[in-house]
Structure 1
Amino acid sequence: MEHKMKRIKEKKSKKKIWPWIVGSILALILVFVGTAYYTVHKTMNKINTPLMETSETVEKEQKVITRKDPFSVLLLGVDERENDNGRSDTMIVMTVNPEKKTMKMLSIPRDTRTEIVGYDTEDKINHAYAFGGVPMAMATVENFLDIPLDYYVFINMEGFLKMIDTLGGVTIQNDMELTYGAYHFPEGEVNLNGEEALIFTRIRYEDPRGDFGRQIRQRQVIEAILKKASTPTTILKASDMLEVVGENVRMNFSMKELIQLQGIYKKMDSGIEQIAFEEGSGTRIDDIWYYIPNEEELLKIQSELKEHLQ
């Protein structure tokens, strides 16, 4: 009888303990979720910069991402140094068609000679950012490609390497053996940390393809980052990633649109279709080297992007 009473007391004791355990676990989850929610909103408030706020002269209606409507994004990779506005050494246009489940990516050669909208001159397209920031860069690229640009993403390239290190590095398929100083990148599968990825995407003269080879490597690294960032293990590094993103990225995507964008990206049929300028030529004007696009090829690219955005 005494043994039976002891077992009853133990059961009652366990019944009392379990609510505390469950309550403690729920409390920890709520604290984690609350902290994550606060951190995400804090970061989004920092990086979200609507285009109309970057210049008094620009009045551009903000597009809203939907599940069906196509949209376009200008990716600007900028080297910003002390006492220097920086130049957008990386200019990539991405068009997304959710209904077709397709995405296209076009790298614009940074030395491309074109009209700098709002500056009344023709110059290298990557100078547009130095002259007038994001609004002038977007207006110039819109004019050059004859398509509307709905969104922009600005990345400080020095912070680029921190982002990759936070992800634990990225893996790409290198199509050409390359050496730059002490850095060697063999042909085939290559694992890159942040510093290596930055060097890998900047190589120009060591690649016989010049700036075009650099564009290929930039696209490879961007795709690798997107792929790595969408894996479940990245959630464990979310806090560190948000801190790095907050310091080095500016965009006019809202938090809601980013969530929508992630859902769209996961549904894409295949990776990102690459488009490139291949038929232009180089020339010197006033002792400055420019890339002059082939007119027929430019028209073809414009037409392809317009069709994708319809």
Structure 2
Amino acid sequence: MSTDTRGGRGHSPGLAAFLSFLWPGLGQWYAGARRTGLVFALPVLVAAAVAVGWIAQGPESIVLGLLSPGTALTVAVLIGLLGLWRFASMVGSASTAGGRAALRKPGLLAGLGAMTAVIVVTHVAVGGLALSFYNASSKIFTTEPTANASPPPEASENPALLPIATPFATPVTKDARINILFLGIDSSERRTHALTDTLMVVSVDPLTKTAAMVSFPRDIADFPMYSGGTYHGKINALMTDADRHRDKYPDGGLTTLTKELGYLLGVPIHYYAAINLDGFEAMIDRVGGVTINNPTAINDPSYGGWHQPGRIGFQLSKGTHTLDGETALAYVRSRKGVGGNDFERARRQQQLLVALEHKLSDPAMLPNIPGLLDDATRTITTSFPPDRLGDMLQLGRAIGDDQIQRFVLGPPYAQRPPNAADYRLVLDPDRIAALSIKLFGADSRYATTGAAAAP
């Protein structure tokens, strides 16, 4: 005798539809179509079990998972399919319970319409949230093009901002050192081209739970290139220059700059994160500001504002401050007057990056995730793999401030030539080699060639 009998007296089409609205397949089971009920119910049961297991890992795990574009898109599609599945089960169970004629009754149609509206609203809301993660992560996390990929024609005026991933060597193992280049790109509307005024390499050792931050002052010039020869311009213009002269720099702008900084520092750079200062202010405000300890009073009357032209000045007393976005932006951009120069600015940039990392890793920031995603799409582009974000978050929490070594490659690592026509710094190769070995040990390429002087 078949267990999938259709219809039967005493089976309410409305109740059957409502049961399938609550859980697909329940209405069919109620109406006597048990096999069909199992067909509708089992896939939802499997999906629910997976979802419960994911949710049990905590909201942080959910957010990190959704930051992977593939995961976010899969979740959005499944949520949409689940809505269609619920609708099909509702209509099917009502038909099973009362026959097709029941679907023409105004009362049942009104009930189905109301339940369908609830399904549409809830699934669009939840699926839309997953899609927002997908859209944001697709913009933040770049794909992997070829190293000599040409920039699109419409981007030729500002090639330095192209979201190009770096096809470099990846860490050998999960426990191997990770080297990331952070670029602060100043592309305000008053500039005719973008400049990478912040060049900072952050190296994290997962085994020792230590980190090193090395900043390259923007006026470093006359340095040897990894491809041979010498670049006589300043390092903050190299990326734009390389993008505009592909005949000389076939790797393109971002790849050339990243390879070059790794070459100079003595370790391969695995990933990059480009931070556009235009969106930096909003992100700081979104997290409620960041707290820093300013070691030296700053009085820079020549500082120009970000939003308006002209000199507005910037002052900040020595001591602990919680900075809003506008003040934080001034803190990392000001470089003149009392307490200011390029080297101090680089140290402040390192300090603020650590402070922001601490704030973002705070679980209390989870409710701000939607807004932060919106800010991040306008602020950050990175080649860092999203599936390793969880590992980096745990590392960031495990590494204390006293376990972070910070260096700025100004004097004594670089000196101003006595007869230079403009202000520029030339690296001391022996001191750079010694610093590289000190920080990276056998991972440094200088370890095989030796270093002449202590840093």
Paired residue for 2:433?
299
C-alpha distance in structure 2 between counterparts of 1:54 and 1:281, whole Å: 33
1:124 and 2:124 correspond: no
> How is 1:242-261 mapped onto 2 (pairs within 5 angstroms)?
242-261=373-392
Q: Secondary structure at the match of 1:204?
A: coil
CA contact (8 A) 1:179 1:185 kept: yes
Cα distance 1:164–1:295, how it changes in 2: closer, same or farther (>3 A)?
same
Work out the percentage of aligned pairs sharing the same amino acid: 24
Paired residue for 1:267?
398
RMSD: 3.0
CA contact (8 A) 1:128 1:140 kept: no
Amino acid at match of 1:276: V
Paired residue for 2:220?
112
Q: Secondary structure at the match of 1:179?
A: strand
C-alpha distance in structure 2 between counterparts of 1:208 and 1:224, whole Å: 20
Amino acid at match of 2:416: G
Structure with higher RCO (Cα < 8 A, 6+ apart): 1
Give me the TM-score of the superposition, normalised by structure 1: 0.81
C-alpha distance in structure 2 between counterparts of 1:231 and 1:108, whole Å: 29
CA contact (8 A) 1:180 1:203 kept: yes
Cα distance 1:36–1:227, how it changes in 2: closer, same or farther (>3 A)?
farther
> How is 1:279-290 mapped onto 2 (pairs within 5 angstroms)?
279=412, 280-283=414-417, 287-290=421-424
Cα distance 1:117–1:285, how it changes in 2: closer, same or farther (>3 A)?
farther
**How many pairs does the alignment contain?**
286
Paired residue for 2:329?
198
Pairing partner for 1:41 from 126, 134, 143:
134
C-alpha distance in structure 1 between counterparts of 2:441 and 2:392, whole Å: 21
CA contact (8 A) 1:65 1:71 kept: no
Pairing partner for 2:207 from 79, 87, 99:
99
Give the CA deviation at 1:54. Answer: 6.4
Amino acid at match of 1:272: I
C-alpha distance in structure 2 between counterparts of 1:95 and 1:308, whole Å: 14
CA contact (8 A) 2:273 2:380 kept: yes
Give me the TM-score of the superposition, normalised by structure 2: 0.57
Q: Secondary structure at the match of 2:268?
A: coil
Paired residue for 2:48?
none
CA contact (8 A) 2:177 2:206 kept: yes
Farther off after superposition, 267-276 or 28-37:
28-37
Give the CA deviation at 1:293. Answer: 2.4
Cα distance 1:65–1:194, how it changes in 2: closer, same or farther (>3 A)?
farther
Pairing partner for 2:274 from 138, 147, 154:
154
Cα distance 1:54–1:246, how it changes in 2: closer, same or farther (>3 A)?
farther
Give the CA deviation at 1:239. Answer: 0.5
Name the structure where strand makes up a greater proportion of residues.
1
Structure 2 residue runs without a partner (length 5+): 1-21, 23-54, 56-118, 151-164, 243-252, 302-312, 445-455
| Higher gyration radius (CA) | 2
> How is 1:122-271 mapped onto 2 (pairs within 5 angstroms)?
122-132=232-242, 133-181=253-301, 182-207=313-338, 210-268=341-399, 270=401, 271=403
C-alpha distance in structure 2 between counterparts of 1:117 and 1:227, whole Å: 35
Q: Secondary structure at the match of 1:153?
A: strand
Cα distance 1:61–1:166, how it changes in 2: closer, same or farther (>3 A)?
same
Cα distance 1:269–1:248, how it changes in 2: closer, same or farther (>3 A)?
closer
Cα distance 1:33–1:93, how it changes in 2: closer, same or farther (>3 A)?
farther
Pairing partner for 1:78 from 165, 169, 185:
185
Cα distance 1:237–1:290, how it changes in 2: closer, same or farther (>3 A)?
same
Give the CA deviation at 1:46. Answer: 0.9
Q: Secondary structure at the match of 1:288?
A: coil
CA contact (8 A) 2:275 2:379 kept: yes
